[in-house]
Chains A and B, each alone.
Chain A
Amino acid sequence: MENTIVKRLVQLIPALAIAVLILSDAQPASAGCFMKLKDCYATAANQSDWLDLWLMGLDCELDFTDCVRRAIIGR
C-alpha cells in the first residue's frame, strides 16, 4: 500500500517539474534548453518503472546543464 503511494508520488515528479517550468521565467540565452528539458521530462514521465523514470530524469538534467553551459559559458 505504502509502496504504491510512493510510486505514484515519484511518477508525479516530472509532471510537477513541467508545471514549474511552464510557470518559470526562462532566460533568453538558454530558452531553448528549458524547452528541451520540458520535452525530456515529458518523455521520462512515460516510463512505467520508477527507477527508469528517475534515471531518465537525471539524464534530462545533465543534457539540460550541457545545453545551458554551451549557451552561456561556451566561447
Chain B
Amino acid sequence: MRRIIALAAVLTLCVCGDSFGSVLHKYLATPGGVVPDGLIVGRAVCQGATWLLTEKAQLVRVSAANRPATVHDVRGLLLDDRLWGLACLSDGSLWTLPSPRVLARLSPDGRLTERQNVRLPRVGLFASGDRLLFQQLPTVIDAPILATSPARQPFDVRTWPGLRARSTASREDQLAHNLVNCGIPAGASVPCWFVNEAQISVSDGVSARLRRLAGLRASGIDQSAPIWDVALAGNERLWLLATAPTSPSGGRTGGRLIFVNHLKEDHIDLAPTARLILSATDTRCLVLTVRGELMEVSTQ
C-alpha cells in the first residue's frame, strides 16, 4: 500500500513544463533506486528486457512490463578481469568482455561461462542479430572501425560498413578519438557514432547511411561529445539523448531527448538528466535518470 502511495505521489509530479512547445511529454514511471549505483559499462536490449552491466560486476535486468529490476552479482570472474560491454544476440544469449582479449557468455543469473580468447583485443562490444558487433585494435586509418563475428566463431570476422577510423595527430589521440559507441538497434540495424561527433551511422551490416541532426547543434548541448545515447525505433524514427553541458564534478549525462520522425525533430529537456536510454518504441522512450528513477517520454 505504501509503495502504491509513493508511486502515485511520483506520478503526480508530472513535469511537462519545459518542453518548449514540443509534443513530447514525460513522467517519472518509478521512484529511485531501480538500478544500483556503479558505472554502467554495458547495455543490451532483447526479448522484452533491458540488461545493464555495471563496473561493480552486477547484472541488472529491467523489464518495461515487470518492474522493479532484478540484480545479480556476476560470478566466475578472474583476478584481472575488468568487465566491459554487453551484447545480446537474437537467441537471447548475453556476451561480455572480461578483458580485451577474452569473450565470455553471461548467464541471466550472472554466471560467466564459455570464456574464449580472441586474436585481437576488443574494446567495444554490441550485437546485430545473431552476430557480435565489436571494435578491435589496432585501428587502421580509413578502414571500417567495427566488425562482426558469431559468438562461438570469433575468427569468422566481417567488416561492418559505416564508420571508418580517422587519422589524428598522435597515437594516443588516435586511440581516444576513434572510440565508438552504439545504441539500441532495431532489427539488424544498429546506430553507432564516434563519441566526439554529431552524426550517427546506421548500418545493418550490408549498407550504411549517415544521419546528421540539426538539433544537436543547439545551445545547451555539450558540443565536444554531443551524442550521449541513441535508440532506433524503426526505419525513420529514432530517439537521441543529447549530452548535457559537463557538470562541475566533470560527469556527463544526457540532458535533452530528441525524437526524430522522418525529417521532423522534437525535443524535451530532462530534469533530472538521464544516464542512458533503457528501451524505446515509435511512441515511447524509457530512460534511467541520474537519481535512479525510470522516466518515460511519450509522443502522445
Interface pair A62/B121, CB less than 8 Å apart: yes
Bound-complex Cα distance A66 to B83 (A): 10
Interface pair A74/B170, CB less than 8 Å apart: no
Which residue of the partner chain A has the closest CB to B290? A75
Which residue of the partner chain B has the closest CB to A13? B171
Q: Which residues of B contact A65 (CB under 8 A)?
A: 100, 123, 137, 175-176, 179
Show 7 A/B contacts (Cβ-Cβ < 8 Å), sorted by A: A20-B171, A24-B173, A61-B171, A66-B82, A72-B225, A74-B39, A74-B40
Selected contact of B246 from candidates A29, A64, A73, CB within 8 Å = A29
User: B: which residues have CB within 8 A of A?
Assistant: 39-41, 43, 55, 82, 84, 100, 121, 123-124, 137, 169-173, 175-176, 179, 181, 195, 224-225, 229, 246, 250, 252, 275-276
Q: Which residues of A contact B124 (CB under 8 A)?
A: 69, 73
Bound-complex Cα distance A29 to B74 (A): 28
Whether A17 sits at the interface, judged by CB under 8 Å, is: yes
Assuming the contacts A24-B172, A75-B39, asked whether A29 and B252 have C-beta atoms less than 8 A apart, the reply is yes
Interface pair B252/A72, CB less than 8 Å apart: yes
Selected contact of A64 from candidates B39, B84, B175, B276, CB within 8 Å = B175
User: A: which residues have CB within 8 A of B?
Assistant: 17, 20-21, 24, 27-30, 33-34, 37, 61-62, 64-66, 68-70, 72-75
Interface pair B276/A75, CB less than 8 Å apart: yes
Interface pair B179/A21, CB less than 8 Å apart: no
Assuming the contacts A20-B171, A24-B170, A74-B55, asked whether A68 and B179 have C-beta atoms less than 8 A apart, the reply is yes
Q: Which residues of A contact B276 (CB under 8 A)?
A: 75
Interface pair A17/B171, CB less than 8 Å apart: yes
Interface pair B55/A73, CB less than 8 Å apart: no
Q: Which residues of A contact B250 (CB under 8 A)?
A: 28-29
Among A33, A70, A74, the one with the most B-chain Cβ atoms within 10 Å of its Cβ is A74
Interface pair A61/B170, CB less than 8 Å apart: no
Q: Which residues of A contact B40 (CB under 8 A)?
A: 74-75
Which residue of the partner chain A has the closest CB to B40? A75
Q: Which residues of B contact A21 (CB under 8 A)?
A: 170, 172
Q: Which residues of A contact B224 (CB under 8 A)?
A: 27
Interface pair B39/A70, CB less than 8 Å apart: yes
Bound-complex Cα distance A75 to B278 (A): 12
Given contacts A62-B121, A65-B123, 6 further A-B contacts (CB under 8 A): A29-B225, A61-B175, A62-B123, A69-B84, A72-B179, A72-B252
Bound-complex Cα distance A66 to B84 (A): 9
Which residue of the partner chain A has the closest CB to B41? A74
